[in-house]
């Protein structure tokens, strides 16, 4: 079965319905989530859950070097015949076309796509799986994105400019997370993942409380999604610092396992089913500033977005709590730490706030959000961040941003 047409969940759940009562509550999640030390050694066993006998494994060139032999061994040990393909680095239409037609010619009996790597590799794998009409398996090698669990890919041009989301009717059939692999990834990526994960609760709460707000898939959030996002924040506050220590010592512990789950599963379900709001709007707007797009991770931009979001909503106490946590794990909490100058860069920050509002994510807020209002909240966030950084010292930030 080959599928080509795009899929729009928003049209299905009725995001255009004027009557909020007519929009259903929808929870979306991967079919199986498997996390532990050494799980990649047992990938072959796990693949048997979905009955795949001819999967293709997608990696970056570096990923194949690191994991090719281990995964090949695991698949062979249970009699699975597989092909391996190298993903060229961009989740673009042309890369999807190249891989899809390559597989149709070379391995027409492909019955599952296994993507091993970072966000873009998993995202491209999801599109290829959708076009081939086969299940998707994600094996993240970093814990910094919501890509492993979601039924959406972020598409880019070949030059790396973000184009927009592409949605799928199926969530990944299996998510296999090997914490022995994740602990070897750069620590700044785990910390950035914490920034992205921390936003989940504040944004899901905003969406839940505003009957006009919609989740990412155009539905209303369930209380399950809200509870998952709240647990995500609680897990971060309780275990974030200890997980950073574990990673510095290269010794996985319970806190590290919990943070990997929070960054990957709780944040993944929470964002997709709970919804986004001002924090992600700010992060999206800030990517228009070249130095931020180039030098900072998504979760780091979401971090300053959280502070702006909370201050926009008048939640100063929570903003202080969030910024203290972020300072402790090493996330940037003010403009200076994002290499911005609050005097010189005001015009580009103001333009970024216009971009944030035009992303339409601020529509989830219970009041009208103008670029001026958002900029005022950003200025307030910067002042708070400077104050917290001075009080707590910026040793953690300095360690990740030498
Ligand atoms: Zn995000």
- Mean of pLDDT values over 25-51: 96
Structure token digits, residue 125? 């794998």
Which residue in this structure is represented by tokens 């993903």? 87
Ligand 1 geometric centre to CA of 192 (Å) = 10
Over the stretch 325-342, which tens digit does the pLDDT of each residue have?
Answer: 999 999 999 999 999 999
For residue 358, the SS3 value is helix
Q: What is the mean pLDDT of residues 118-133?
A: 96
pLDDT score, position 13: 85
Give pLDDT, residue 158. Answer: 87
Confidence band for 1, pLDDT divided at 50, 70 and 90: very low
pLDDT at residue 2, as a whole number: 44
Query: What share of the chain in percent tops pLDDT 70?
Result: 97
Indicate the helix (H) or strand (E) that contains 46: helix 43-47
Cβ contact 47:27 at 8 Å: no
> What are the tens digits of pLDDT across the range 41-71?
999 999 999 999 999 999 999 999 999 999 9
The predicted structure's pLDDT at residue 378: 98
Residue pointed to by tokens 């570096």: 62
317 Cα: distance to centroid of ligand 1 (angstroms): 23
What crossing angle do the helices spanning 278-286 and 371-392 adopt, rounded to 10°? 90
Dihedral sign of CA atoms 297, 301, 306, 309 in order: negative
Q: CA dist 58 to 35, 98, 139, Å?
A: 20, 13, 10
Catalogue the E-assigned strands of 160-314. Answer: 162-167, 174-178
- Tell me how far the alpha carbon of residue 318 lies from the centroid of ligand 1, in angstroms: 20
Given this model, what pLDDT does residue 70 score?
96
Q: How far is the CA of 376 from the centre of ligand 1 (A)?
A: 23
Distance 388 CA to ligand 1 centre (A): 24
The burial of 96, by beta-carbon neighbours within 10 Å (0-12 exposed, 13-18 middle, 19 or more buried), is given as buried
pLDDT of residue 85: 97
Using DSSP, state whether 84 is helix, strand or coil.
strand
State which of 3-12, 99-108, 393-402 shows the largest mean pLDDT: 99-108
**Residues contacting residue 276 through CB under 8 Å, at least 6 positions apart:** 203, 207, 216, 361, 364
Q: Which own/partner contact pairs does 3-7 have at CB distance under 8 Å and 24+ positions apart?
A: 3/130, 3/131, 3/133, 4/131, 6/166, 6/167, 7/130, 7/167, 7/168, 7/169
Q: How far is the CA of 44 from the centre of ligand 1 (A)?
A: 31
List phi, psi (to 5°) of 202: -60, -40
- pLDDT score, position 3: 47
At a CB cut-off of 8 Å and minimum separation 6, what does 47 contact?
55, 75, 78, 80, 112, 114, 137, 174
- Tell me 253's DSSP state: -
Give the residue among 243, 385, 256 at the shortest CA–CA distance from 322.
Answer: 385
For residue 303, how far is its CA from the centre of ligand 1 (angstroms)? Answer: 10
> What residues pair up with 58 in beta bridges, in sequence order?
85, 115
Mean pLDDT over all residues of the chain? 94
Å from CA of 196 to ligand 1 middle: 5
Of residues 390, 401, 384, the one with CA closest to residue 322: 384
Predicted local confidence at residue 205, as pLDDT:
98
72 CA → ligand 1 middle, Å: 32
Residue 233 alpha carbon to ligand 1 centre in Å:
14
The predicted structure's pLDDT at residue 251: 94
**Tell me: the pLDDT tens digits for 341-390?**
999 999 999 999 999 999 889 999 999 999 999 999 999 999 999 999 99
Give the Cβ contact number of residue 50 at 10 Å: 17
Q: Which long-range contacts (CB under 8 A, 24 or more apart) does 365-373 make?
A: 365/206, 365/210, 365/277, 365/278, 365/312, 365/313, 366/206, 366/209, 366/210, 369/278, 369/281, 369/312, 373/312
H-helix or E-strand containing 154? Answer: strand 152-156
- Asked if residue 316 has pLDDT above 90, the reply is yes
Whether 263 shows a pLDDT value over 50: the answer reads yes
> How far does residue 299's CA lie from ligand 1's centre (Å)?
6
The tokens describing 278, both together, are 């001002």
């Amino acid at each position: 079965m080959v599928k080509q047409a795009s899929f729009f969940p928003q049209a299905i759940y009725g995001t255009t319905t004027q009557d909020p009562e007519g929009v259903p509550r929808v929870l979306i999640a991967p079919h199986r989530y498997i996390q532990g030390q050494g799980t990649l050694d047992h990938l072959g066993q796990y693949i048997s859950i979905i009955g795949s006998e001819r999967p293709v494994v997608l990696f970056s060139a570096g990923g194949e070097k690191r994991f090719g032999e281990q995964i090949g061994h695991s698949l062979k040990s249970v009699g699975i015949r597989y092909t391996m393909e190298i993903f060229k680095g961009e989740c673009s239409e042309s890369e999807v076309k190249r891989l899809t037609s390559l597989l149709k010619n070379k391995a027409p009996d492909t019955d599952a796509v296994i993507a091993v790597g970072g966000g873009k590799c998993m995202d491209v794998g999801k599109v290829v799986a959708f076009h081939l009409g086969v299940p998707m398996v994600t094996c993240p090698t970093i814990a910094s994105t919501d890509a492993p669990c979601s039924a959406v890919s972020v598409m880019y041009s070949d030059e790396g400019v973000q184009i927009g989301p592409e949605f799928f009717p199926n969530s990944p059939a299996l998510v296999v997370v090997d914490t022995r692999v994740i602990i070897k990834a750069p620590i700044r990526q785990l910390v950035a993942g914490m920034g992205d994960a921390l936003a989940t609760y504040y944004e899901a709460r905003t969406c839940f409380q505003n009957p006009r707000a919609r989740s990412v898939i155009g539905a209303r959030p369930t209380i399950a999604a809200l509870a998952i996002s709240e647990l995500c924040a609680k897990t971060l506050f309780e275990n974030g610092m200890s997980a950073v220590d574990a990673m510095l010592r290269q010794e996985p512990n319970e806190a590290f396992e919990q943070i990997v789950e929070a960054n990957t599963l709780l944040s993944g379900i929470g964002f997709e089913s709970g919804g986004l709001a001002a924090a992600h709007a700010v992060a999206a707007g800030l990517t228009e500033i070249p130095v931020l797009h180039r030098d900072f991770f998504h979760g780091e931009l979401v971090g300053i977005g959280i502070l702006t979001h909370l201050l926009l909503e008048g939640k100063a106490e929570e903003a202080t709590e969030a910024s203290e946590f972020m300072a402790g794990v090493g996330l940037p909490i003010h403009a200076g730490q994002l290499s911005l100058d609050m005097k010189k860069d005001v015009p580009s920050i103001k333009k970024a706030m216009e971009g944030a509002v035009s992303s339409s994510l601020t529509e989830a807020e219970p009041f009208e959000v103008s670029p001026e209002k958002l900029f005022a909240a950003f200025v307030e966030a910067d002042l708070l961040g400077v104050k917290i950084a001075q009080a707590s010292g910026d040793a953690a930030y300095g360690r990740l941003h030498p």
